[in-house]
Amino acid sequence: MSEAPTRTTFSSYDVVVLGAGYAGLMAALRLGRRKWHLRIALVNAREEFLERVRLQESIVAAVASRIPSIAELVAGTGIDFIRGTVIWLDAEHRRIRIATDGQEREIAFDQAIYALGSNIDVDNVPGAGEYAYRLETGDAPRSVAALRLKLQQSADRPVRVVTVGGSETGVEIASEIKTAWPRAEMALVSSSRCGGFKGLRVEKAVRTELNRLGVTMIDGEVVTEVRSTEIQTEARVLAYDICVWATGLRSAPIARDAGLATDSQGRAFVGPNLRSISHPCILAVGDAAHPIAPTGAVYRLSAFTAAVSGAYAADEIIAKRAKRQLHPFSYSAFGQGVAIGRRGVGFFSYPDDKQSLFILKGRTARRVRNFFVAFFIHVLRVERRFPGFFFWPGRRRVSWDQANDALQKVETAQKVRTA
């Protein structure tokens, strides 16, 4: 019996937002003010909102979404929520194809916001994709749900766990597992230093917490291959029962395949107004963007960076319709928190994302981190009710002279490479 033919429907919008993470959802909600009369589509593969900063918690138990239905959240705003997977982007003719419910839907747009985020990159090391678990949703064989089941099945015996990646994600994964399964032999492997992502003071605080839990830290070793029961570094072989991959990020290939100018990780190169340098009708935000102009604080992958870039992209679209020019995208950072089991490490980083003042540790740091993670959900809900509510500091830190100078340097470098 042959499958029913796939039908293709067609519709047109003023703005299409691809992805409903922190960046995409913020952008769509901010554009929803009725007085602008915009036809907006928000496309996402999931019905519920995914809080990526809480994914390590789902290693122990499934985490309920605090926005269980994006469709219900945007109901009444004039935003059309389309649950589906983006399979094709035609940047030249401004078309998008979406797979949804066994059908294909094609959308035309005037402007698009590309917010498809990023995933852990397991393609650059042999065996990582086949044997290593990672913080990915769904029911794939190496998803976080599969990791949780594997750990639960091994709870009655000591199990050797190796986590690869010594930055924030790796630290949170290793500590979450060690806290929930204290009998596990946990090793954290880093190509630099475990916990060394924000200066010596933060590194010392993070490593103190990891030592307290009994996590073995292996510094300065690059993993060259992952096998079914062992990993190979440049210096040794480490046997394991469970391997978790937490290093390197790569964006979806949609932008690159569409011909947008992208970096080696698939992120779209954007100018000072977050528009693609090759296709200005498309703006990129969050993890999917690589700004080539200064942004005040360093453009780091985080929920806060995603939210401010999404808000700016919405403002840029409105400004273009009104024939106004915004200041170049910029912002100031506030701080950062890292969950380490039931405890944590938190610190101020205003304005340039460098650790400053004092460092919070222990359960207080974890509670403060949890407060701000929940606060982001509240901000999104308020933005839904009052589009344009969200405000961030440092919005005038970069001048057009600075931005244009950066653009000119990039253009000169490109000419030299092609000469």
Tell me the two tokens of residue 374. 């929940």
- Residue 94 C-alpha from the chain's centroid: 25
Residues 186 and 209 occupy one common structural domain = yes
Candidates 282, 286, 295, 274; CA nearest to 256 is: 282
Q: How many helices (H) and strands (E) does the chain have?
A: 10, 21
Q: Give the tens place of pLDDT for each residue, 219-236.
A: 999 999 999 999 999 999
Q: Which residue has the tokens 């138990």?
A: 61
Q: Which residue has the tokens 């070793």?
A: 221
Residues 188 and 285 occupy one common structural domain = no
Round to the nearest angstrom and report the end-to-end CA distance of the chain: 58
Tell me the two tokens of residue 44. 């996402």
Q: Which helix (H) or strand (E) holds 295?
A: none
Residues 404 and 269 occupy one common structural domain = yes
Q: Give the tens place of pLDDT for each residue, 285-322.
A: 999 999 999 999 999 989 999 999 999 999 999 999 99
Average pLDDT over the chain, rounded to an integer: 94
Region for 194 from its dihedrals, namely left if φ exceeds 0, alpha if ψ lies in -120 to 50, beta otherwise: beta
DSSP codes of every residue in 209-232? HHHHHT-EEE-S--EEEE-SSEEE
Q: Give the tens place of pLDDT for each residue, 66-87.
A: 999 999 999 999 999 999 999 9
Residues 289 and 406 occupy one common structural domain = yes
> Residue 417 falls within a domain, yes or no?
no
> Residue 387 falls within a domain, yes or no?
no
If one compares 413 and 205, the residue with the highest pLDDT of the two is: 205
Residues 238 and 260 occupy one common structural domain = no
> Residue 359 falls within a domain, yes or no?
no
Tell me the two tokens of residue 11. 């519709």
> Residue 21 falls within a domain, yes or no?
yes
Determine the residue type at 103: Q
> Residue 22 falls within a domain, yes or no?
yes
Candidates 19, 111, 72, 104; CA nearest to 319 is: 111
Residue span of the structural domain in which 160 resides: 122-247
DSSP codes of every residue in 136-151? --SS-TTSHHHHHHHH
Residues 87 and 190 occupy one common structural domain = no
**pLDDT score at 410:** 82
Residues 312 and 262 occupy one common structural domain = yes
> Residue 113 falls within a domain, yes or no?
yes
**Mean per-residue pLDDT for 200-220?**
97
Residues 209 and 109 occupy one common structural domain = no
Residues 15 and 103 occupy one common structural domain = yes
DSSP-derived secondary structure letter, 419? -
Within 10 A of 298 (CB to CB), how many other CB atoms are there? 13
Please confirm whether the linkage preceding 294 is cis (ω < 30° from 0): no
Residues 33 and 130 occupy one common structural domain = no
> Residue 165 falls within a domain, yes or no?
yes
**Mean per-residue pLDDT for 27-34?**
92
Q: Give the tens place of pLDDT for each residue, 336-381.
A: 999 999 999 999 999 999 999 999 999 999 999 999 999 999 999 9
**pTM score, two decimals?**
0.94
Q: How confident is the model at residue 155 (pLDDT cuts 50, 70, 90)?
A: confident
- Residues 1 and 222: their CA atoms lie apart, in Å, by 51
- Residues 194 and 167: their CA atoms lie apart, in Å, by 6
Candidates 119, 122, 142, 128; CA nearest to 232 is: 128
Domain end marker among 210, 231, 247: 247
Residues 234 and 222 occupy one common structural domain = yes
**Alpha-carbon distance values, 384 to 77, 377, 395 (Å):** 8, 11, 21
Q: Which residues pair with 96 in a beta bridge?
A: 89, 107
The answer to whether residues 362 and 343 touch, using CB atoms and an 8 Å cutoff, is yes
The answer to whether residues 312 and 377 touch, using CB atoms and an 8 Å cutoff, is no
Domain end marker among 247, 267, 299: 247
Overall number of domains in the chain: 2
Q: What is the CA radius of gyration of the chain?
A: 22
CATH code for the domain in which residue 78 is found: 3.50.50.60
> Residue 339 falls within a domain, yes or no?
no
Residues 281 and 404 occupy one common structural domain = yes
Domain end marker among 247, 274, 309: 247
